[in-house]
Amino acid sequence: MVGVVHATNPIDAIQRFISRVDIGVLPHIVDTVIFIKDGEIKKVYELSLKVKVPTGMTQEDLARPVVEVRDFETGKLEYEIYTFGEENVVVPVEKEGVDVVKKLAEERILMEIRKYDPRATVEIIGNKAVVKVDNRVIGRLIGKDGENIGRIEKKLGLRVEVIPKYYTLGKEVSYQISESGNSIDFIFNRSLAGEVVSFYIDGSFLFSAMVGKKGTIKISKESDMGKELLKALYEKKEIRVFGKD
């Protein structure tokens, strides 16, 4: 079957279908695009569907259905179409492709994080997003047992690290530490329940977290923070925790 769509370039013609059909169905409806201008064939694209990690991303758990748009003659991959967050996006796959993905990720993350702090900033470092927010909203952003930040990570398909915009030591709080199964448990006075405390190793900020109702904070040994804490314990480094003034 042959259809005609008026567009200024071939990728625009493809984009017109994205809002109307599911991405997984797109290559079955449109598998070849022939762009004609001034009576001549200027470009021919072929579309195919693959489940893979989009170009510019590296973590295997970020794999998703991706529509590849390739030059029919050379087979060169020029665009990828996939779902990012809750939107379908068309991303050029060129030298600037990685920068496009990075910028796209930053924009989507800020849309979520700025619901908590309108002046939040984000930076994509490797496979994670480092978010800086006002110290006062960290607890609300992270949520109970990491519920809020976990929802955002799942929605965007990226790991998000939350750090305070301004590092202030505040008042040092005492704690006891123990290991239980796969976690490192910090035990505080129950009067600190619901407060956000900041952890420092040898004077360097590591992370902030909210003290649970039972006065504890559990850190998975498999997490980046857990690995840093284990290393600090083995090397007998100083671990200090600070709360509000």
Q: Which two tokens stand for residue 219?
A: 């850190």
The predicted pLDDT at position 2 comes to 63
Q: Is residue 231 part of a domain?
A: yes
The predicted pLDDT at position 211 comes to 92
Q: Going edge to edge, which strands form the sheet with 183-187?
A: 176-180, 183-187, 216-220
The predicted pLDDT at position 40 comes to 82
List per-residue pLDDT tens for the chain, 245 residues long: 566 766 677 788 787 887 777 878 888 888 888 888 888 888 889 989 998 888 777 666 677 888 889 988 888 888 888 887 667 778 888 755 556 667 777 888 888 888 888 888 888 777 778 888 877 788 888 887 788 888 888 777 778 888 887 666 678 899 999 988 889 999 999 999 988 898 988 877 888 888 998 999 999 998 888 899 999 999 999 898 988 76
User: Which DSSP symbol is given to 24?
Assistant: T
Q: Domain with 111 in it: what CATH number?
A: 3.30.300.20
Q: Is residue 5 part of a domain?
A: no
| Residue 163 to residue 106: CA distance in whole angstroms | 16
**Is 88 in the same domain as 40?**
yes
DSSP string, 182-218: TEEEEE--GGGTT-EEEEEETTEEEEEEEPPTTSEEE
Q: Is residue 2 part of a domain?
A: no
Q: Is residue 221 part of a domain?
A: yes
The predicted pLDDT at position 164 comes to 82
**Is 28 in the same domain as 68?**
yes
**Is 150 in the same domain as 192?**
no
Taking residue 63's Cβ as centre, other Cβ atoms within 10 Å add up to 14
Q: Is residue 3 part of a domain?
A: no
Q: Is residue 207 part of a domain?
A: yes
**Is 227 in the same domain as 191?**
yes
The predicted pLDDT at position 217 comes to 94
**Is 194 in the same domain as 158?**
no
* Domain interval for residue 218: 171-243
How many domains does the chain contain in total?
Answer: 3
Q: Is residue 62 part of a domain?
A: yes
The predicted pLDDT at position 204 comes to 79
Domain end among 75, 93, 111:
93
**Is 152 in the same domain as 180?**
no
Q: Domain with 238 in it: what CATH number?
A: 2.60.40
Q: Is residue 145 part of a domain?
A: yes
